[in-house]
């Protein structure tokens, strides 16, 4: 929506500065996690291939880990997680990083199409993101049916998910459901989201059309928004503890996987049990909060790089 406002006001998109800001926010914690994981690998992973881990670390820091895993024929749903890469979870962040690079180029194309004032930005963007949505979803359905392991990591099978979010963002200013409907949407979205893991064969179905289920569930919660009702889901989601947890969500995603894999390697187990799983979650939470406060928050507040584009 910030890009839409710039397009509508005729202001420069400043893509270079946007990219610098995005990766200034994302890279510090990612690099910290990657370096810490390499230290763990060298210290406790028996007979590990140092060259493989270094190449995966580089693929992760350059947001290409999803392609490295796809081309290595990795099975994301392998039963024995102790043999998984401690960098495997960077596949998702790699896709996101690629979208952070690609999406501004779509806005730049929209600027070219609207700069003469004969077309409005929102309809042009709806057409562009709608095209991405349909093309990527069609490829996702086909690729999931024919080569699911590769499709899971393929950026092309995932772009429609981001395009759906972009279309939702474009539609939100025009959606005005009554408060009762928004309260119902919030709870239905949450129940639908939770039910995915219970009712759907995620292992064999994703990322094809079935991924619409959790995405539309999330969309329902977003459309519900802040209802102001004592019965609204937002009363829980906007509570102080969950907001603070949300502040550390990025660090939690980065850190939970190497903590889990390192535990499995040390204990020589294929997966964590209920008790060890709870401990791993708690350890990951503590590390995430510390990393957010000591690294992410301080980098955000670091004013020196903001004084010129060269410094940034």
Place 191 in a pLDDT band, splitting at 50, 70 and 90: very high
Whether residue 79 is predicted with pLDDT greater than 60 in this model: the reply is no
- Report pLDDT for 266: 86
Asked if residues 255 and 31 have their Cβ atoms less than 8 Å apart, the reply is no
Decide: residue 175, CB within 10 A, 0-12 exposed, 13-18 middle, 19+ buried: exposed
Phi first, then psi, for residue 147 (nearest 5°) are -150, 70
105-109, 131-135, 196-200: which range is least confident on average?
Answer: 196-200
| The pLDDT value given to residue 82 | 55
Query: Mean pLDDT throughout 189-204?
Result: 85
pLDDT in tens, 275-291: 999 999 999 999 999 99
Q: 189, exposed or middle or buried, with CB in 10 Å at 0-12, 13-18, 19+?
A: buried
Task: Give me the mean pLDDT over the 226-247 stretch.
Answer: 91
Any idea where the domains of the chain sit in the sequence? 2-174+239-307
User: Using CA atoms, how far apart are residues 23 and 30, in angstroms rounded to an integer?
Assistant: 10
Residue 226 has pLDDT above 70, yes or no: yes
Report whether pLDDT(303) > 90.
Answer: no
Short-list 297, 273, 181, 274, CA closest to 229:
181
Task: Provide the pLDDT for residue 127.
Answer: 96
Among 185-194, 201-210, 242-251, which is the least confidently predicted range? 201-210
- Residue 56: is its pLDDT beyond 80? yes
The residue written with tokens 């990322």 in the block is 207
pLDDT level of residue 78 (50, 70, 90 thresholds): low
Average of per-residue pLDDT across 251-270: 91
Q: Which long-range contacts (CB under 8 A, 24 or more apart) does 224-227 make?
A: 224/182, 224/183, 224/185, 224/186, 224/189, 225/182, 227/179, 227/182, 227/183, 227/186
Lowest pLDDT segment from 132-146, 156-170, 198-212: 198-212
Distance of CA 283 to the CA centre of its chain: 22
Does 231 score more than 60 pLDDT? Answer: yes
Instruction: Quote the tokens at residue 250.
Output: 């990025």
Q: What is the mean pLDDT of the chain?
A: 90
Q: Among 148-157, 195-204, 208-217, 273-282, which stretch is predicted with the lowest mean pLDDT?
A: 195-204
Round to whole Å and give the CA distance between 118 and 28. 43
Q: Hey, which of 36-40, 193-197, 282-286 has the most confident mean pLDDT?
A: 282-286
What does the pLDDT read at residue 193? 93
């Amino acid at each position: 929506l910030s890009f839409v406002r710039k397009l509508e006001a005729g202001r420069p998109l400043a893509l270079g500065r946007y990219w610098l800001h995005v990766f200034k926010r994302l890279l510090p914690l990612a690099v910290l996690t990657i370096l810490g994981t390499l230290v763990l690998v060298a210290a406790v992973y028996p007979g590990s291939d140092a060259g493989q881990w270094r190449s995966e670390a580089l693929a992760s820091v350059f947001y290409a880990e999803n392609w490295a895993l796809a081309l290595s024929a990795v099975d994301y749903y392998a039963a024995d997680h102790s043999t998984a890469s401690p960098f495997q979870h960077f596949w998702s962040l790699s896709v996101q990083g690629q979208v952070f690079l690609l999406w501004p180029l779509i806005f730049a194309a929209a600027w070219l199409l609207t700069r003469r004032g004969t077309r409005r930005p929102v309809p042009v963007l709806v057409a562009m993101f709608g095209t991405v949505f349909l093309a990527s979803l069609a490829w996702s359905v086909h690729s999931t049916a024919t080569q699911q392991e590769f499709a899971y990591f393929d950026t092309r099978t995932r772009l429609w998910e981001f395009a759906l979010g972009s279309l939702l963002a474009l539609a939100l200013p025009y959606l005005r459901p009554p408060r009762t409907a928004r309260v119902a949407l919030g709870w239905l979205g949450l129940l639908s989201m939770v039910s995915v893991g219970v009712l759907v064969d995620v292992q064999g179905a994703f990322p094809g059309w079935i991924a619409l289920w959790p995405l539309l569930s999330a969309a329902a919660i977003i459309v519900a928004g802040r209802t102001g009702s004592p019965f609204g889901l937002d009363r829980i989601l906007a509570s102080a503890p969950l907001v603070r947890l949300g502040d550390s969500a990025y660090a939690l995603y980065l850190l939970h996987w190497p903590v889990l894999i390192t535990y499995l390697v040390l204990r020589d187990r294929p997966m964590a049990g209920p008790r060890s799983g709870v401990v791993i979650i708690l350890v990951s939470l503590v590390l995430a909060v510390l990393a957010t406060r000591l690294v992410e928050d301080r980098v955000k507040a670091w004013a020196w790089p903001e004084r010129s584009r060269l410094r940034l």
